[in-house]
Homo-oligomer: A and B are copies of this chain.
Amino acid sequence: MSPPLHISISEKLRHQIEAGVYASGDRLPSEHQLMETFSVSRITARQAVANLVSQGLAIAYRGKGVFVTPQKKVTYSLSSPLVFLEQDMARQGIAFSFENLVFEPIAAPRDAAVALGIDKASSVYLQKKLFRMDGAAGAVDVSYLIADLGDRFAPLLERQMTFPILAQHGIPIDHLDAVIECTHADYDLSGYLEVPLGHALMVYRYTAYSSNQRPVLHGSTISRADRFCYSLSTRAGASD
């Protein structure tokens, strides 16, 4: 009938957060304080905190305390015509930068080969980038670029975003096919994106086609759910 103790405690804290008792970035009571306030053991107090963390409402730092998750969300417009991520961030007053993690030619994995319409053994360029918004890690992008374009723009690709490079050299992206889904952070991603294990992440899986209908780039952008969302309109010619 009545929920377990740790749920009662975390629900109470959740309501207090939503009511503004604890504001964004505020420090929550320590485990020891929760133990005394609710007369429970540390196990139960920890479980209550873990519930909040798993709901994305709080984040714990060893040695410092537990803090209400700051919610600063960036919107990326998916409506055509294609808007460049950097420009979209700039319009919202976000300082955007990226760190190149990997850039190297490899044999195409199965899914990339299928999406790009090439043989499985063919060469493609694997790109891994870490996107930063206002300095904080916001997304990881893993993509596969067809070999001829990778060869041609190799030095540029490590310093600039792919779509703008292509556009500036007369190879604009004509359209994208995309799937948006949602997943949980595994151990590696939780390290890159500075989120707890299991944190919700958005996955934007795309295949980009050049104007002659040839697929040129296939990849996934995996972003922090608390920092990123996608907007779209089915209105013809919507620009926002």
Contacts and interface: CB of A to CB of B under 8 A. Distances in A.
A209 B198 CA distance: 37
User: Is chain A's interface secondary structure helix, strand, loop, or mixed overall?
Assistant: mixed
A51 B200 contact: no
A54 B184 contact: yes
A168 interface: no
Interface in A192-240: 197-202, 209, 225, 228-236, 238
Interface string A151-190: 0000000000000000000000011111111111111000
Nearest to A196: B54
A14 B182 contact: no
B197 A54 contact: yes
B229 A181 contact: yes
Interface stretch (A26-34, A72-80, A94-102, A115-123): A72-80
Interface in A66-92: 73, 75, 78-82
Most buried by B among A11, A51, A186, A232: A232
A235 B174 CA distance: 8
A3 interface: yes
A7 B56 contact: no
Nearest to A18: B186
Contacts of A41: none
Q: What 4 pairs across the A-B complex have the smallest Cβ distances? A: A54-B198, A182-B225, A181-B229, A80-B234
Given A3-B187, A175-B233, A178-B233, 12 more contacts: A7-B187, A51-B197, A54-B197, A57-B184, A176-B234, A179-B230, A179-B231, A180-B231, A180-B232, A181-B202, A184-B199, A198-B198
